[in-house]
């Protein structure tokens, strides 16, 4: 194993600024706002405050799937929250999500605005609101929710664990990378075995479980999230890759991937506000990398 400096934790942890490598300027051990700024409000019932990261894509993909299915009430305004610049610590955003993480949503379709934060909660809210992409009961609903919460519980090992130490940490630590690579490969095998027996994660129907899992594990298996495809040998997971390719081909998924995407080819981004005319212009273009 690669030699690393010996570290003995102190009796009481102290915040040594800066700390956190690439994200040191926004990482901090306290919550709450750092500055006053109200959130914008557009003309649609649903107001989304997010970024085109995997967690943000879950919600925009579902919104685009709902619109494609004919639910006009799913029209939304998508406002960019640039987490690299600390937008998530504004007073307005903290008022919607006290945890200062994207995505967050305000549903203004009723008598009083309703805030929803955490991507899994937003997916369930939207699926139940429109009666789509979530079975209404029985074993099918239980299977869908099980895979949805599998993603919620598992992905921190992929993003905050493997992704951080493999791609972002200021020092490459063999133990940390090996620890999280092992867990991510176990998770990929879990998905591959499930998708060997089922077209979609919850069964024969496409659901919010697929919407939640795909931006993380589907992209990892086919496009190499964190440029780690070769390292993790993602080509070995044939059933997962079959599923991932099928979902990537859906027009609503292609559209949902580029909402609030602040990087890449400007012609393949859609920033700040959803407008149907913008998507008509973009058509089914494959999102830029």
Domains (range + CATH), the chain: 46-133+255-282 (3.40.30.10), 138-252 (1.20.1050.10)
Average pLDDT of span 102-108: 98
Average pLDDT of span 218-237: 97
62 to each of 85, 113, 132, 207, how far by Cα in Å?
Answer: 26, 20, 10, 9
Euclidean distance between CA atoms 171 and 165, whole angstroms: 8
Query: In the predicted model, is pLDDT for residue 229 greater than 90?
Result: yes
Q: Is the full-model pTM beyond 0.85?
A: yes
Query: In the predicted model, is pLDDT for residue 280 greater than 50?
Result: no
Average pLDDT of span 174-188: 98
Query: Where do the DSSP E strands lie in the chain?
Result: 46-50, 76-80, 104-107, 114-117
SS3 label, residue 106: strand
């Amino acid at each position: 194993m690669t030699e690393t400096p010996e570290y003995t934790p102190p009796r009481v942890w102290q915040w040594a600024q800066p700390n956190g490598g690439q994200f040191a300027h926004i990482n901090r051990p306290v919550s709450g706002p750092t500055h006053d700024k109200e959130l914008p409000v557009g003309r649609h019932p649903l107001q989304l405050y997010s970024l085109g990261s995997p967690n943000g894509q879950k919600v925009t993909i579902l919104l685009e799937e709902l619109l494609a299915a004919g639910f006009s009430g799913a029209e939304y305004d998508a406002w960019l929250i640039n987490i690299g610049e600390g937008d998530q610590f504004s007073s307005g955003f903290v008022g919607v999500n006290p945890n200062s993480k994207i995505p967050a949503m305000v549903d203004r379709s009723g008598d009083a605005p309703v805030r929803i934060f955490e991507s899994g909660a937003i997916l369930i809210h939207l699926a139940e609101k429109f009666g789509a992409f979530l079975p209404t009961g029985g074993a099918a609903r239980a299977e869908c929710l099980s895979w949805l919460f599998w993603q919620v519980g598992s992905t921190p090992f992929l993003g905050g664990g493997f992704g951080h130490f493999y791609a972002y940490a200021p020092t490459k630590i063999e133990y940390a990378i090996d620890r999280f690579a092992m867990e991510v490969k176990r998770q990929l095998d879990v998905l591959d075995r499930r998708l060997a027996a089922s077209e979609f994660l919850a069964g024969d129907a496409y659901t919010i479980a697929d919407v939640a899992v795909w931006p993380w594990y589907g992209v990892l298996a086919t496009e190499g999230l964190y440029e780690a495809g070769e390292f993790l040998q993602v080509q070995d997971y044939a059933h997962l890759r079959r599923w991932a390719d099928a979902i990537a081909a859906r027009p609503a998924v292609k559209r949902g991937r580029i909402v609030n995407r602040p990087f890449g080819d400007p012609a393949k981004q859609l920033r700040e506000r959803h407008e149907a005319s913008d998507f008509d212009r973009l058509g089914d273009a494959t999102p830029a990398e």
